[in-house]
Amino acid sequence: AALLVRVHDIYVSSPNCTQDGYFANQSALYKKAMKIEERRERSIDLKKQLGVIEDLLDPNGPFAAGSDLSLADVVMYPTYIFVEELGPLALGWSTPFATFPKTSAWYAHCAAQPAFAAVGKDITAFCRSVLADNAKAIGEEMSSHL
């Protein structure tokens, strides 16, 4: 579980810097200020890191690190909602987890848990009400630079 959290925190959700102009890979989904070249690179790396996490997920699950809920599930689930909600809009990832079967199973299992579903509802609403317009604008920009 600790390794999953570390990969998520360092390579997906953290810019490792708090100064303006520094972005996390996840920011490629919704930060409009990011330059197109950086967004392309970050989106490629985001997909790569999701693959790394896929490889680290326990194959027997149903949670990220095995049969029991862990910090990894609690840390990663909100980020994966961002990817599911904003990936199609910003990066053209129509089904972001399609090539990640363990991730798909894990994500569906978490979403079916009442506590995760409650949190997920709020995060989904936030993505749709606050970040979706940015993601759509990013998607249009990305499309125009293909």
- Helix residue ranges per DSSP H, the chain: 2-7, 36-56, 71-86, 101-111, 114-126, 132-144
CB 135 within 8 A of CB 30: yes
pLDDT at 133 over 70: yes
What is the rounded CA–CA span in Å between residue 92 and residue 82?
14
Q: Tens of pLDDT along 54-66?
A: 999 999 999 999 9
Question: Rounded to the nearest 5°, which phi and psi values hold at 12?
Answer: -115, -55
Which residues sit opposite 63 in a β-bridge? 66
**Residue-averaged pLDDT of the chain:** 94
Enumerate domains of the chain plus CATH numbers: 2-144 (1.20.1050.10)
- Please tell me the predicted confidence (pLDDT) of residue 17: 61
**87 vs 38, 65, 67, 80, CA distance in Å?**
16, 25, 28, 10
pLDDT at 113 over 80: yes
What is the DSSP secondary structure assignment for residue 62, as one 8-state letter?
S
pTM of the model: 0.91
Residue 141: Cβ within 10 Å count? 14
